[in-house]
Amino acid sequence: MKKNICKFSTAWTIGTLSIYQYIRETEREAMCRHTPLSYHRMLLVMQGSGVFYIDRLLLSFRAGDLLFGFCGEQFWLKEGTDVQYMYIDFQGGRAEELFRRFEINATRRCFSGHDGLIPLWEESLARASEQTIDLAGESMLLYAFSRLMLDSPMRDGLVAKVISLTDEEFTDPTLSISGIADTLGYNAKYLSHAFKKQTGVNYAAYLRSVRIKYAVALLEQGLESIKNVALLSGFSDPLYFSNVFKEEIGISPKAYIYDRNEKKGEKL
């Protein structure tokens, strides 16, 4: 069995895309650890098959699958056989643009048939040094995105429009399925039903999830005012925000800030 390879970037920003980690994971204990993602993650399954737990969903996978996890989501291996994978953690404005461009979101995050990427990722990680790990990670990330263009149906369906409007307007505390229905010219009950039928979750839960992921990103950037994070994420009530945050992430915003500061202190 090949050993783990872990290489960390100094998070240099190229444009508005920051690469944080480029890792080959072979240790089952690390795979099964229950922790929220601090950044977005592109993951390539090298071998094995099984089921990931991602944001309250169970997602089956096999070798050659390319998957995405988003900042703030709970992500771990629930079950699997002989599993190895590589992943790149990243963040930044350009990342959000890429997600929109290739229509990658909570309902479209798994892409099969990318076995051809495996030797490229292995070689790039093996050759990368501390000075070039950010470049290696960025090149593999962008190349993988370019391959997804072949998979993209470029949907213009109704639910895709709802998701697009939500991604653009989620910081507005008045955003609701009723308001989006008025914008698109549909009945609110019909639109709500169509959304849940296609995504498997109701719209209110989806909106809360999007807002909490953004809140986690703000906390990771160093914001410590829970009230400000709540308002910037689209929550008008900080107390309600704290309750939803704990429900989604497993700990309160205050505890999250404490844990983040503790981890930073350990690295210094």
What does the DSSP assignment read for 49-71? EEEEEETTEEEEEETT-EEEE-T
CATH classification of the domain holding 172:
1.10.10.60
137 and 14, same structural domain?
A: yes
Any domain includes 187 = yes
Same domain, yes or no, for 93 and 219?
no
> Is residue 43 in a domain?
yes
Domain boundary residue, one of 92, 123, 148: 148
163 shares a domain with 140? no
pTM above 0.75, yes or no: no
Does residue 114 share a domain with residue 15? yes
Residues 84 and 110 grouped into a single domain: yes
pLDDT in tens, 220-260: 888 889 999 999 999 999 999 999 998 888 889 999 888 77
Same domain? For 93 and 183 the reply is no
Tell me the torsion sign for CA atoms 13, 14, 17, 23.
negative
Q: Both 103 and 169 in a single domain? A: no
Q: Assess whether pLDDT exceeds 60 at residue 82.
A: yes
pLDDT at residue number 155? 42
Please check whether residue 153 lies inside any domain of the structure: no
For residue 40, the number of C-alpha atoms closer than 13 Å in the C-beta half-sphere is 23
246 and 186 housed in the same domain: yes
Same-domain pairing of 139 and 167 = no
**Domain presence at residue 55:** yes
For 165-184, the pLDDT digits (tens) are 898 899 999 999 999 999 99
Whether residues 123 and 163 share a domain: the answer is no
Domain count, the chain: 2
Q: Which domain holds residue 217?
A: 158-267
Assess if residue 176 is contained within a domain: yes
* Residue-wise pLDDT tens digits, 132-148: 888 889 899 998 988 88
Residue 90 CA neighbour count, 13 Å, CB half: 32
Q: Give domain status of residue 223, yes or no.
A: yes
Do the Cβ atoms of 61 and 50 come closer than 8 Å? yes
* 20 part of a folded domain: yes
Domain endpoint, select from 148, 181, 203: 148
Instruction: Say how many residues make up the chain.
Output: 268
On whether the CB atoms of residues 71 and 89 are closer than 8 A, the answer is no
> Taking a C-beta distance cutoff of 8 angstroms, is the pair 64, 115 a contact?
yes
Predicted confidence band at 206 (pLDDT cuts at 50, 70, 90)?
confident
Do residues 17 and 129 share a domain?
yes
Q: Which of 148, 172, 196 is the last residue of a domain?
A: 148
Question: Which CATH number fits the domain that encloses residue 87?
Answer: 2.60.120.280
Q: Does 33 lie in the same domain as 139?
A: yes
Task: Report if residue 56 sits inside a domain.
Answer: yes
